[in-house]
Protein backbone atom coordinates (compact mmCIF):
# COMPACT_ATOMS: atom_id res chain seq x y z
CA UNK A 1 0.00 0.00 0.00
CA UNK A 2 1.32 3.44 -0.90
CA UNK A 3 1.80 5.89 1.95
CA UNK A 4 -0.87 8.24 0.60
CA UNK A 5 -3.37 5.36 0.50
CA UNK A 6 -3.02 4.75 4.24
CA UNK A 7 -4.54 8.12 5.17
CA UNK A 8 -8.21 8.28 6.00
CA UNK A 9 -10.40 10.64 4.04
CA UNK A 10 -13.41 12.62 5.19
CA UNK A 11 -16.25 10.34 6.38
CA UNK A 12 -14.19 7.21 5.70
CA UNK A 13 -13.99 6.50 9.42
CA UNK A 14 -15.39 7.92 12.63
CA UNK A 15 -14.21 8.43 16.19
CA UNK A 16 -17.20 8.58 18.51
CA UNK A 17 -17.21 9.37 22.23
CA UNK A 18 -20.09 8.85 24.66
CA UNK A 19 -19.99 10.40 28.13
CA UNK A 20 -22.08 9.06 30.99
CA UNK A 21 -22.60 10.13 34.59
CA UNK A 22 -21.96 7.53 37.26
CA UNK A 23 -24.75 7.59 39.85
CA UNK A 24 -25.73 5.72 42.99
CA UNK A 25 -27.99 2.80 42.08
CA UNK A 26 -30.55 3.62 44.80
CA UNK A 27 -30.56 7.43 45.02
CA UNK A 28 -29.32 8.35 41.52
CA UNK A 29 -27.07 10.96 43.15
CA UNK A 30 -23.80 11.46 41.27
CA UNK A 31 -21.05 9.16 42.46
CA UNK A 32 -17.49 10.44 41.80
CA UNK A 33 -15.77 7.06 41.47
CA UNK A 34 -14.49 6.92 37.87
CA UNK A 35 -10.92 6.51 39.14
CA UNK A 36 -11.91 3.59 41.38
CA UNK A 37 -13.80 1.92 38.52
CA UNK A 38 -10.86 2.20 36.12
CA UNK A 39 -8.48 1.02 38.85
CA UNK A 40 -10.65 -2.04 39.51
CA UNK A 41 -10.16 -3.03 35.87
CA UNK A 42 -6.51 -2.10 35.35
CA UNK A 43 -5.12 -2.88 38.81
CA UNK A 44 -3.82 0.69 39.14
CA UNK A 45 -5.01 4.26 38.70
CA UNK A 46 -5.20 4.91 34.98
CA UNK A 47 -7.08 7.20 32.66
CA UNK A 48 -7.92 4.56 30.03
CA UNK A 49 -8.83 0.88 29.86
CA UNK A 50 -9.28 -0.73 26.45
CA UNK A 51 -11.75 -3.49 25.65
CA UNK A 52 -11.35 -4.25 21.96
CA UNK A 53 -12.98 -1.56 19.84
CA UNK A 54 -14.11 0.52 22.84
CA UNK A 55 -11.93 2.29 25.40
CA UNK A 56 -13.21 3.45 28.78
CA UNK A 57 -11.72 6.77 29.80
CA UNK A 58 -11.80 9.41 32.50
CA UNK A 59 -13.15 12.90 32.04
CA UNK A 60 -12.67 16.19 33.90
CA UNK A 61 -15.36 15.35 36.46
CA UNK A 62 -14.85 12.26 38.60
CA UNK A 63 -18.52 11.24 38.26
CA UNK A 64 -18.23 11.09 34.45
CA UNK A 65 -16.84 8.20 32.44
CA UNK A 66 -16.37 8.11 28.70
CA UNK A 67 -16.71 5.35 26.15
CA UNK A 68 -14.82 6.05 22.95
CA UNK A 69 -13.64 4.31 19.82
CA UNK A 70 -10.26 2.72 20.41
CA UNK A 71 -9.43 3.68 16.82
CA UNK A 72 -11.42 5.35 14.04
CA UNK A 73 -13.79 2.95 12.31
CA UNK A 74 -15.93 2.97 9.22
CA UNK A 75 -18.26 0.24 10.51
CA UNK A 76 -20.93 2.18 12.41
CA UNK A 77 -23.21 -0.85 12.73
CA UNK A 78 -20.49 -2.83 14.52
CA UNK A 79 -19.59 0.23 16.57
CA UNK A 80 -23.20 0.59 17.78
CA UNK A 81 -23.10 -3.05 18.93
CA UNK A 82 -19.71 -2.52 20.57
CA UNK A 83 -20.99 0.53 22.46
CA UNK A 84 -24.12 -1.32 23.57
CA UNK A 85 -21.96 -4.17 24.87
CA UNK A 86 -19.66 -1.68 26.62
CA UNK A 87 -22.58 0.05 28.37
CA UNK A 88 -23.86 -3.31 29.62
CA UNK A 89 -20.37 -4.34 30.73
CA UNK A 90 -19.84 -1.02 32.48
CA UNK A 91 -23.12 -1.34 34.38
CA UNK A 92 -22.04 -4.83 35.53
CA UNK A 93 -18.76 -3.38 36.81
CA UNK A 94 -20.53 -0.41 38.41
CA UNK A 95 -22.90 -2.78 40.23
CA UNK A 96 -19.90 -3.81 42.36
CA UNK A 97 -19.78 -0.18 43.53
CA UNK A 98 -23.58 0.06 44.01
CA UNK A 99 -23.61 2.41 41.02
CA UNK A 100 -24.90 2.58 37.46
CA UNK A 101 -24.75 4.83 34.42
CA UNK A 102 -27.25 7.68 34.43
CA UNK A 103 -29.70 6.88 31.64
CA UNK A 104 -30.18 10.52 30.59
CA UNK A 105 -28.07 13.33 29.17
CA UNK A 106 -28.57 15.70 32.09
CA UNK A 107 -28.87 15.17 35.82
CA UNK A 108 -32.15 16.56 37.19
CA UNK A 109 -30.93 17.60 40.66
CA UNK A 110 -27.14 17.54 40.78
CA UNK A 111 -25.71 20.78 42.17
CA UNK A 112 -22.52 21.26 40.13
CA UNK A 113 -21.30 23.97 42.50
CA UNK A 114 -21.10 21.57 45.45
CA UNK A 115 -20.98 18.09 43.88
CA UNK A 116 -18.37 18.42 41.13
CA UNK A 117 -15.09 16.66 41.93
CA UNK A 118 -12.30 17.03 39.36
CA UNK A 119 -10.15 14.09 38.22
CA UNK A 120 -7.19 14.27 40.68
CA UNK A 121 -4.71 12.01 38.87
CA UNK A 122 -2.73 12.25 35.60
CA UNK A 123 -3.40 15.48 33.70
CA UNK A 124 -4.99 17.01 36.83
CA UNK A 125 -3.15 20.29 36.15
CA UNK A 126 -4.68 20.47 32.66
CA UNK A 127 -8.16 19.82 34.07
CA UNK A 128 -7.64 22.46 36.79
CA UNK A 129 -6.61 25.01 34.16
CA UNK A 130 -9.56 24.13 31.95
CA UNK A 131 -11.88 24.45 34.96
CA UNK A 132 -10.33 27.79 35.95
CA UNK A 133 -10.83 29.19 32.43
CA UNK A 134 -14.28 27.74 31.68
CA UNK A 135 -15.75 27.28 35.20
CA UNK A 136 -16.81 23.69 34.63
CA UNK A 137 -18.86 23.62 37.83
CA UNK A 138 -21.44 25.64 35.95
CA UNK A 139 -21.78 22.88 33.38
CA UNK A 140 -23.43 20.26 35.62
* CA neighbor of 67 nearest in space, from 52, 87, 95: 87
* CA neighbor of 94 nearest in space, from 6, 12, 13, 24: 24
Confidence (pTM): 0.89
Q: Where are the domains of the chain?
A: 15-139
Q: What is the pLDDT along the chain (140 residues), one digit of tens a residue?
A: 444 557 889 999 999 999 999 999 999 999 999 999 999 999 999 999 999 999 999 999 999 999 999 999 999 999 999 999 999 999 999 999 999 999 887 899 999 989 999 999 999 999 899 889 988 876 54
- Cβ contacts of residue 105 below 8 Å, gap of 6+? none
pLDDT, tens only, 25-41: 999 999 999 999 999 99
- What fold is seen in the domain 15-139? TATA-Binding Protein (3.30.310)
Amino acid sequence: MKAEESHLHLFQAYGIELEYMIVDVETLDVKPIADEVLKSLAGEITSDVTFGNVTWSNELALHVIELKCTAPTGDLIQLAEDFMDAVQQMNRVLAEFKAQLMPTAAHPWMDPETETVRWPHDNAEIYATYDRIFDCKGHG
